[in-house]
Amino acid sequence: MTPLEALALCATALGAGVVNTLAGGGSLVTVPLLVLLGLPGGIANGTNRVGILLQSGVAAWRFRALGVGGLRESLPVLLPVAAGSLIGAWAIVHVSDVLFERAFGVVMLLLLLPLLREAALPRRERAAPPTRLGPRWAVLFFAIGIYGGSFQAGVGIPLLFALAHAGFDLVRANAIKVIVTAVVTLTAVPVFMLSGQIAWGPAAIVAAGYSAGAALGARLAVRGGERLIRPVLALAVIALAGRMLGLY
């Protein structure tokens, strides 16, 4: 990798880190770029996870420093999401993903509608935020963990949909999301390590960019609130759905 390529990769990861922290889907840019720079697809997928792990840790730290924590609310679903991630990471090398990606793209577009409807409601009519996620959410987060462990790209989007449906505003939902994403990625990374699917040089470059983007993204999320997060999330959903439906 030339210095110019490394700089381009780091800058791209920085922008992707901002998008991932505000919504999700940044890996739709970084993984193809890693492939373009010469990494096989499986190794690019594993290499990207290292950056996602550090990004999630930095974002969680910055949200907490800015007064928006999410650890207590996320604790009940961390075990099921970790179990799902482990299964997903193992299954990705055995299961064809084409049909799943198409179906997931349709689901993302359908989920966008209630999110936009919620935005149109007066604040007094919106669901009251819970203090934490109860056991009934375990199955959903187990399924999200399977997706995150296998594909990763865009996992923040279904996480935000689930958390918004549970009643959290999108700022708090993002603070919870990055903690859950950290657990998903921490569970999956060893699987890719044992399979030899991480290129550590590019991983370090991606991690540096992602981490800087996460710090900036958390600050933007807290300052801009839902007025900033909601349009970014809508665009991320459309981009993810289009990619999974094979439109580009």
- pLDDT score recorded for residue 236: 81
Is the model's pTM score more than 0.85? Answer: no
Measured distance CA(236)–CA(232) in Å, rounded:
6
What's the confidence (pLDDT) of residue 111? 53
Query: Could you report the average pLDDT of every consecutive run of 10 residues in the chain (248 residues)?
Result: 93 94 86 88 87 95 92 86 87 57 56 52 51 72 84 80 84 92 90 88 96 96 90 82 66
pLDDT at 191: 84
Distance CA 27, CA 153 (A): 5
Give the pLDDT score at 95. Answer: 54
Which tokens hold the place of 120?
A: 């149109």
Report in angstroms the alpha-carbon separations of 203 from 12, 15, 223.
Answer: 13, 16, 30
Check if the beta carbon of residue 31 is closer than 8 Å to that of residue 45: yes
pLDDT per position as a tens digit, 80-127: 999 989 888 887 655 554 554 555 456 556 655 555 555 444 455 445
Q: Quick one: three-class SS letters along 124-146?
A: HHCCCCCCCCCHHHHHHHHHHHH
**What's the mean per-residue pLDDT of the chain?**
82
Domain range for 186? 3-244
Task: State how many domains the chain has.
Answer: 1
The reported pLDDT for the residue numbered 121 is: 46
d(CA 115, CA 92): 30
**For position 120, what pLDDT does the model report?**
47
Q: Please, are residues 148 and 78 in contact by the beta-carbon 8 Å criterion?
A: no
Mapping DSSP to helix (H, G, I), strand (E, B) and coil, where does residue 26 land? coil
Closest CA to 177 of 105, 102, 229, 123: 229
With 0-12 / 13-18 / 19 or more C-beta atoms within 10 angstroms meaning exposed / middle / buried, residue 94 is exposed
Residue 194 CB neighbours (<10 A) = 9
